[in-house]
Amino acid sequence: MSAAVCGLAAGPAAAQQTFPDRPIRLVVPFAAGGSTDIVARIIAAKMSEILKQQVIVENRAGAGGNAGAAAVARAAPDGYTVLMGTVATHAINPALYTKMPYDPVKDFAPVSLLVNVPNVIVVHPSLNVKSVAELIALLKANPDKYDYASSGIGTPLHLSGALFESMAGVKMQHVPYKGAGPALLDVVAGQVKIMFDNLPSSIGQIRKGGVIGLAVTTKERSPAAPDMPTVSESGLPGYETYSWNAIFAPAGTPQAYIDILAKAGAQAVADPAVKARLADLSAVAVGSTPAELAAHVKAELAKWGPVVKASGASVTE
């Protein structure tokens, strides 16, 4: 009996020492080629080296990220199926969709916040504004006259605009597109004068002069555009929005496995070569603990819920 008890006690420790002993599936809940997919593949390659097991990226798009997230929520909590979650899957969609296939808190175990991606306010040069303060003054003098483009109804970019309207006390007309690419093309062409975009999407046109980058939306300036001020410092104190990517496991995944994955994720984004590749995408490496990611999700849910409600955006699926 003594030997049997010792064997049982050693079981969890032994399991921890052997995890992972087969490939891990990292589900990206969006199509291949997008920013989340690109970030996931960069990080997955390095995590594969660190864990000495392949981390395989699997794209499972649909319902604004809900399809892939729900698949992971229902997966076995064994550490071998994890999600590359985003501000959409874990902060915006719960308020946007009338029926959610998962609970962003109860159905997931937070692993690590890996990167933050700044958004940016861009305008067509013909608008003749050079700062956020000048844009606010123009919009206040001309309520409802100007349009702003985004990547679609209820997307983080749409809601970045809605938050801007609310905090600045201005009113614009929202023009949703089927993706950031088509939206930016129309802004460059002058069809729409204003856009809230991910910095990686717009940085090329900003550098070429196709659009003017007024400000990034994070608390601090972006290393990819150090001369561009933040929204908060240039006319709208307290404004902050950004996209982010984080790993989540199904609820019930052993904490020992969570800790192993979190450590590998943090080491991956801290690697100099990985950091350089992420910086090229204007992504800022983070690498948080599970507890820090849990606190981040809680804060993001509290922030975006009222913004979604105020915007009037709703999706029934």
pLDDT for 61-105, tens place per residue? Answer: 888 899 999 999 999 999 999 999 999 999 999 999 999 999 999
What are the φ and ψ backbone dihedral angles of 123, each rounded to 5 degrees? -135, 155
Place of tokens 């985004």: 150
Q: Where does residue 220 fall: left (phi above 0), alpha (psi -120 to 50 degrees), or beta otherwise?
A: beta
- pLDDT value, residue 306: 92
Angle subtended at Cα 64 by Cα 60 and Cα 67, rounded to the nearest 5 degrees = 40
CA distance 101 to 48: 30
- pLDDT value, residue 316: 84
Ranges of the chain whose pLDDT falls below 50: 1-15
- pLDDT value, residue 229: 96
- pLDDT value, residue 93: 95
What are the pLDDT digits (tens) for 266-284? Answer: 999 999 999 999 988 888 9
In the chain, at which residue ranges do the beta strands (DSSP E only) sit? 24-28, 55-59, 81-86, 108-123, 147-150, 173-176, 194-198, 212-216, 242-250, 284-285
Question: Do residues 98 and 316 lie in contact, with contact meaning Cβ atoms separated by under 8 Å?
Answer: yes
Identify the bridge partners of residue 211 per DSSP, sorted by sequence position.
none
